[in-house]
Amino acid sequence: MGMKRIICAALGGVLITGTGAAIADEGMWTLDHLPVQQMQSAYGFTPSPQWIDLVQHAAVRLAEGCSGSFVSADGLVMTNHHCANSCLSQLSSTANYMQDGYAAKQEEPKCPEVELNQLEKITDVTDRVNAATQGKDGAERIKAERAIHSALEKECVGGDATTWRCDVVTLYHGGRYALYKYRRYQDVRLVFAPEQGIAFFGGDPDNFNFPRYDLDVTFFRAYIDGKPAKTPQYLKFNVHGPKEGELTFVVGNPGATQRETPWTSLAYLRDHILTPYYGYLSESRGQLWQYSRLGEQQIKEAQDALFGADNSLKVFKGWLETLSDENFIAKKQQEDAALRQWIAADGKRRAAYGDPWAMLEKAQQRGAELRDRYSMIESGRGFGSQLFADARLLVRGADERNKPDAVRLPNFRDANLPALQQALASTAPIYPQYEETRLAWTLEKMRQSLGADDSFVHEVLGTKSPDQLAHALVSGSKLADPTLRMQMWNGGAQAVAASNDPMILLARQIDPEARRLRKQYEDEVEAPSKKAAEMIARARFERDGTSRYPDATFTLRLSYGKVVGWNEKGTPVPPFTDVAGLYRRATDADPFKLPDSWLRAKSSLDLSTPMNFVTDNDIIGGNSGSPVIDREGHAVGLIFDGNIHSLGGDFTFDGSTNRAVAVDTAAIVEAVRKVYKLPRLAAELTNGHQ
C-alpha cells in the first residue's frame, strides 16, 4: 500500500463531498471524535483518554506520504521498507541499500529528505474559516481561503517553523475545518532496513494479494540537536503478535477517499483524469523497465520510480474496475438522485443549496478542456526531471517569498518553508543519464499531448527535438549541487535573476504560462467544484446527522477491526501466514528469490512464527507504515498493504472482503534477532529504550 500522498495530489482537484453512516468495522475516525459507543457495543472496549493520548503521540506521519510510529523512548520509528525507498536510494551512492538492506553500526546516517510529523493538537476553526469565505466565489474565494489559512497557520506556528508545522484541514468537504498542529522532525536517520527481496518478497505479482510473506519494515530514528529524540509516548512491542479474532486498531494517515463523491465527479475522475494518467503511467513503466536492463547502476537509478509505477498501476486498475462496475454506478446514481429529490422537495432547501450538481457539471466540462495543458505544464507531467523541479522551486520560491504570507501559493507559506529547504539541501545524488532520459521522454509526451503546433511547445522546444533539449538542459545545469541550490535559495530573486543556468532559464521562461493555467484551473474548475461539493455535503449533513466519519485527507485517523480472514470465491482464506510458508513459496528467481541471509538463517528460525496477517480494519493508501495496536496500546503488527478487494476502498467499503495486510511483530523480532543478528535493536524493541 505504497500509494503515496503525492499520487493522491496528482489526481486531486476533482472533488468531492462526504458524509455517510458507518456500518460494520467501517470508518477512519479523527482522534477527537471517536465512535466510542460503536466500539463499546461491538467489542466491549472504550478507549481511555490516556490510551487515545498515547496512540496519537506515538503515531507519526512521513511528510511524503506514509505513516509510522515511535516504538521506543529513544526516538526509534517503525515504518515500511517501501516508505523508506527514497531514503535508501538516496543514501546509496556506492552501495544499493534499497536492494541489499542496511544495518547501522555506530553512526546512523541521515536521510536527506525524510520529515516526520507528530500530531500535537487539533483545534476546530470552522467558524473562523466560514466567516472569511462567506458569500465568495471563484478567484475571490480562493484568495480569502488562502488568507485565512495562512493567518491561522502562522498564529499556530508562533514563529518557530522549525519545531512546529500547522495545517488547516478541510474535513467533510468543508463541513468542518480543523487546525492540526504537528511537532516536526527533520533530522531522521536510518537504523535498519532488510533486503528488498524479503521486504517485497513476491514483488509486484504478490502486491495487493494474500497469502503473503513480506518483511516490509524499516526502522528510522528521530534526532533532536544531534541526539536521539526523547519520545516517552511510544508503542511497546508485543513480541507475540495478535491472535485470530482479536480486536485491532490502526492509527495512521489514510491519503484520500471519495466515498461520498457524487457520480458526476467520479465519472469525471474516471474519464478525464484516471484513464489518461493510466496510459501515461503505463508508458512510464515500460520505459523504466527497459531502462533498468542497462545495468546495475540503472536498476538503482530507476528502482524507486518503477516500484511506484507498479504500485499505482495496480491501484488504478482496481479503481477503474470499481468505477466501471454497473452496480456501483447505479448505487451512486440512486444516492445522488435521492439527495436531489430531498432538496427539491422543500423551498427552503432549494434556496439554501441551489443546484450544486449543475455547478459540478459545468466546472467539470471546463476541467475536461483544461486538463491536458494543466497536467503537462503546471503539474509538471511534461517536465519529468528533478533538476527542473528544483529550478521551479527556486524560481517560484524567489517570487513567492517576496509576497505577504497570505497571498502566496500554499506550498510557499512560511509554515512549509522548512520542508522546501530540506528538499533543496538534499544530498541525494542526481543521475545525469536518468535525468536526461526521463526529461526527453516527458518532453515528448508533452508535445504529443499538446500538439506540435502549440505555441507553448514551440516556445519550449524551438527547433530542438526533446532529446536535444533534454541533453542541453541536463548537461548544462549545475543544480545537481545542493550547495549551489541553497546559495540560490538564500540569494532569492536577485540570485535567480542573475543565473544563466539553463534549467533556471527554462523554469523562468515557462512560469507565466504555468501560473496562468494554474489560476485558470483553480478559479474555473477547483473553486466551483469545491463549492458544489460543500453544498452537497452540507445538504447530506442536514439530512443524515452526525453518525459518520469524514473522507480521508492524509491526516491522523483511527480505525478499529479484528484479525479475520475472508472467503474468496467459496474458499476461506485464513488470516495468518507463517515463516514455514515463506520458505515453501521461495524459488530461485526474482521476485520469489530469498536473500542469502534468510537461506542461511533457516535452520535457526522458529518456522511456526507468524509472518503476515490480515484484519478488517478500514485503511487506504497513506496508511502504509501504520502500526497495528491491541487494546493495551501495544504494537502487534505493521500495516504494509491491502488485499485486492481493498482497491475499491477509495470509493466504497465492503467489510466482507476488504482486508488490511500487516507484518506480524513476532516475525520482526525473530528476523532482527536471528536473521540479521542485531541484538541491540532487538533489545530496544523488547525493552522500549536503547
Mapped onto helix, strand or coil, the DSSP state of residue 501 is coil
Q: Which positions touch a copy of itself (CB under 8 A)?
A: 202, 204-206, 209, 270-271, 275-276, 278-280, 282-291, 293, 313, 317, 320, 324, 437, 441, 444, 447-448, 451-453, 463-465, 468, 587-590, 592
Output 544 or 590, the one with its CB closest to a copy of itself.
Answer: 590
Q: What is the grid cell recorded at 402?
A: 517576496
Residue closer to a copy of itself (CB basis): 176 or 285: 285
The distance of closest approach from Cβ of residue 440 to a copy of itself in the complex, given in angstroms and rounded to an integer, is: 9
DSSP state, 672? I
Q: Residue 349 or residue 645: which is nearer to a copy of itself going by CB?
A: 645
Q: Per the structure block, which three cell numbers stand in for 93?
A: 551512492
Q: What type of residue is 631? A: R
Residue whose cell numbers read 504570507: 405
Cell match 502487534: residue? 636
Nearer Cβ to a copy of itself (109/205): 205
Q: How far is the CB of 284 from a copy of itself (least distance, A)?
A: 6
What residues contact 484, with CB distance under 8 A and at least 6 apart? 478
The nearer residue to a copy of itself, 97 or 441, going by C-beta atoms, is: 441
Alpha-carbon gap, residue 684 to 690, rounded angstroms: 5
The three three-digit cell numbers of residue 670, written as one number: 525473530
Residue 587: alpha-carbon gap to chain centroid? 32
Q: Which is nearer to a copy of itself, 70 or 201 (CB)?
A: 201
Min CB(368)–a copy of itself separation in Å: 9
CB of 154 to a copy of itself, least distance (A): 44
The minimum distance between CB 624 and a copy of itself, in angstroms, equals 21
At residue 395, what are phi and psi to the nearest 5 degrees? Answer: -65, -50
154-157 LR contacts (CB < 8 Å, sep 24+): 154/405, 154/413, 154/414, 154/415, 156/123, 156/181, 157/414, 157/415
Distance in Å, CB of 96 to a copy of itself, minimum? 18
Rounded to an integer, what distance in angstroms lies between the CA atom of residue 155 and that of residue 158? 5
Indicate the residue among 136 and 593 with the shorter CB distance to a copy of itself.
593
Q: For a copy of itself, which is the closer residue by CB, 104 or 573?
A: 573
Question: Would you say 89 and 304 are in contact if contact means Cβ atoms under 8 Å apart?
Answer: yes
CB of residue 593 to a copy of itself, shortest distance in Å = 8
The smaller minimum CB distance to a copy of itself, of residues 336 and 444, is found at 444
Find, among 688, 606, 553, the residue nearest to 176 by Cα.
553
Q: Which C-beta is closer to a copy of itself: that of 197 or that of 627?
A: 197
* 325 burial type by CB count under 10 A (0-12 exposed, 13-18 middle, 19+ buried): middle
Q: C-alpha grid cell for residue 56?
A: 496519537
Q: Are 561 and 248 in contact (CB under 8 A)?
A: yes
State the nearest-atom distance from the C-beta of 621 to a copy of itself, in Å: 19
482-499 exposure pattern, b = at least 16 Cβ within 10 A, e = fewer:
bebbeebbeeeeebbeeb
CB distance 439 to 388 below 8 Å: yes
Instruction: Output the smallest distance, CB 270 to a copy of itself, in A.
Output: 8
Q: Given the complex with a copy of itself, which of 277 and 554 has the nearer CB atom?
A: 277
Closer to a copy of itself by Cβ: residue 113 or 216: 216
Burial class (CB in 10 A: 0-12, 13-18, 19+), 240: middle
381: enclosing H helix or E strand: none
Give min distance, CB of 587 to a copy of itself, in A. 4
| 215: helix, strand or coil | coil
Least separation in angstroms between residue 277's CB and a copy of itself is 11
CB of 320 or CB of 359, closer to a copy of itself: 320
Kind plus residue range of the DSSP H or E element containing 61: strand 59-62
Where are the strands (E) in 115-234, listed by range? Answer: 116-124, 164-171, 176-185, 187-193, 218-224, 227-228
Q: Where are the alpha helices (DSSP H) in 501-627?
A: 502-521, 527-544, 579-585, 596-601
Q: How far is the CB of 599 from a copy of itself (least distance, A)?
A: 15
Beta partners for 119?
A: 182
Least distance (Å) between residue 177 CB and a copy of itself: 34
Nearest approach, Cβ of residue 18 and a copy of itself (Å): 24
- 236 close to 635: Cβ distance less than 8 angstroms: yes
320 or 580: whose CB is closer to a copy of itself?
Answer: 320
Q: How far is CA 391 from the centre of its chain?
A: 24
Nearer CB in complex with a copy of itself: 167/195: 195
Q: Which three cell numbers stand for residue 429?
A: 545524488
Nearest to 664 by CA among 605, 607, 610, 583: 610
Closest CB 282 distance from a copy of itself, rounded Å: 4
Compute the distance between CA of residue 148 and CA of residue 209 in angstroms, rounded to an integer.
Answer: 44
**Alpha carbon distance 328, 322 (integer Å):** 7
- C-alpha 245/C-alpha 631 separation (Å) is 13
Q: Which is nearer to a copy of itself, 447 or 538 (CB)?
A: 447
**Helices 527-544 and 326-344, packing angle to 10 deg:** 80
* SS3 (DSSP) at 222: strand
Distance of closest approach, residue 433 Cβ to a copy of itself, in angstroms:
10
In 3D space, the residue among 207, 83, 211, 97 whose CA is nearest the CA of residue 579 turns out to be 211
